[in-house]
Structure 1
Amino acid sequence: MMKKTVVVALGGNALLRRGEPLEADIQRENIKIAVESIAEIAQHYNVVLVHGNGPQVGLLALQGLEYTKVNPYPLDVLGSETQGMIGYMLMQEFKNRLPELDVSCLLTQMTVDPNDPAFSDPTKPIGPVYEEAEARQLAEKYNWIIKPDGQYFRRVVPSPQPTGIVESAAITKLIESGNLVICTGGGGIPVIKQNGKLTGIEAVIDKDMSAAYLARQLNADALLILTDADAVYTHWGTPQQQAIRATTPQQLSQYQFDEGSMGPKIAASCEFVKQGGQLVGIGALQDGLRILEGKAGTCITKD
Structure 2
Amino acid sequence: MGPAPPDPIRPDERECALAETAVLALGGNALIREDQRGTLEEQYANALAMALSVRSLIRKGWNVVIVHGNGPQVGNLAIQHEGSIDLVPALPLFTLGAMTQGQLGSLICLALNEVCKQEIAGAVSIITHVEVDSGDPRLSEPTKPIGPFFDQSEAESLAANRGWTMAEDAGRGYRRVVPSPRPMAPIEADAISALIDLGYIVVAGGGGGIPVARSADGAYRGVDAVIDKDFAAERIADAVAAQALVMVTGVAAVQLHFGTPRQQAVTEMTATEARRHLADGQFPPGSMGPKVEAAIEFVEAPGRISAITTPELVYGTLDEPAGVIAGPRGTRIVPDPVPALIS
TM-score range, shorter chain: over 0.9
Q: 1:33-48 maps to which residues of 2 (within 5 A)?
A: 33-44=49-60, 45-48=62-65
- 1:242-298 deviations in whole A, cap 9, x for unaligned? 211110221122332221111111111111111345110101122111121345111
User: Is contact 1:162-1:210 (8 Å) kept?
Assistant: yes
Gaps of 5+ in 1: none
Higher relative contact order (CA 8 A, sep 6+): 1
- 1:121-174 deviations in whole A, cap 9, x for unaligned? 222111112233333332232222222322222211111111121111111111
- 1:79-123 deviations in whole A, cap 9, x for unaligned? 111111111011111111122322111011111011111112222
* 1:105 is the counterpart of 2:105: no
2:67 matched residue in structure 1: 50
1:134 matched residue in structure 2: 154
Gaps of 5+ in 2: 1-14, 321-326, 337-343
* 1:226 is the counterpart of 2:248: yes
- Determine which of 184, 187, 210 is the counterpart of 1:166: 187
- 1:188-232 deviations in whole A, cap 9, x for unaligned? 111111112111110001111011111111221111110111111
* 1:302 is the counterpart of 2:302: no
2:111 matched residue in structure 1: 93
Distance 1:134 1:240 in 2: 36
Distance 1:19 1:37 in 2: 22
Distance 2:90 2:170 in 1: 28
Distance 1:41 1:72 in 2: 42
Distance 1:66 1:302 in 2: 48
2:268 matched residue in structure 1: 246
276 and 75 in structure 1: CA distance in 2 versus 1, 3 angstrom threshold: farther
User: Is contact 2:275-2:296 (8 Å) kept?
Assistant: no
2:3 matched residue in structure 1: none
User: Is contact 2:67-2:206 (8 Å) kept?
Assistant: yes
Distance 1:236 1:148 in 2: 19
What is the letter of the counterpart of residue 308 of structure 2? I
1:66 matched residue in structure 2: 83
- Residue 253 of structure 1 aligns to a residue whose secondary structure is helix
Distance 1:122 1:241 in 2: 31
User: Is contact 1:10-1:226 (8 Å) kept?
Assistant: yes
- Determine which of 308, 314, 331 is the counterpart of 1:282: 308
* 1:215 is the counterpart of 2:237: yes
1:10 matched residue in structure 2: 26
164 and 231 in structure 1: CA distance in 2 versus 1, 3 angstrom threshold: same
239 and 72 in structure 1: CA distance in 2 versus 1, 3 angstrom threshold: farther
204 and 277 in structure 1: CA distance in 2 versus 1, 3 angstrom threshold: farther
What is the letter of the counterpart of residue 244 of structure 1? V
- Determine which of 155, 171, 188 is the counterpart of 2:209: 188
Count how many residue pairs are aligned between Structure 1 and Structure 2.
303
2:47 matched residue in structure 1: 31
Distance 2:303 2:72 in 1: 29
Distance 1:130 1:35 in 2: 32
Q: Counting strand residues as a fraction of each chain, which structure ranks higher?
A: 1
Distance 1:30 1:131 in 2: 27
1:258 matched residue in structure 2: 284
Distance 1:130 1:72 in 2: 23
- Structure number with larger C-alpha Rg: 2
Distance 1:289 1:166 in 2: 29
- 1:66-86 deviations in whole A, cap 9, x for unaligned? 113134321111111111111
User: Is contact 1:160-1:205 (8 Å) kept?
Assistant: yes
What is the letter of the counterpart of residue 46 of structure 1? N
16 and 160 in structure 1: CA distance in 2 versus 1, 3 angstrom threshold: same
84 and 120 in structure 1: CA distance in 2 versus 1, 3 angstrom threshold: same
- TM (norm. structure 2) is 0.84
User: Is contact 1:19-1:129 (8 Å) kept?
Assistant: no
Distance 1:237 1:66 in 2: 39
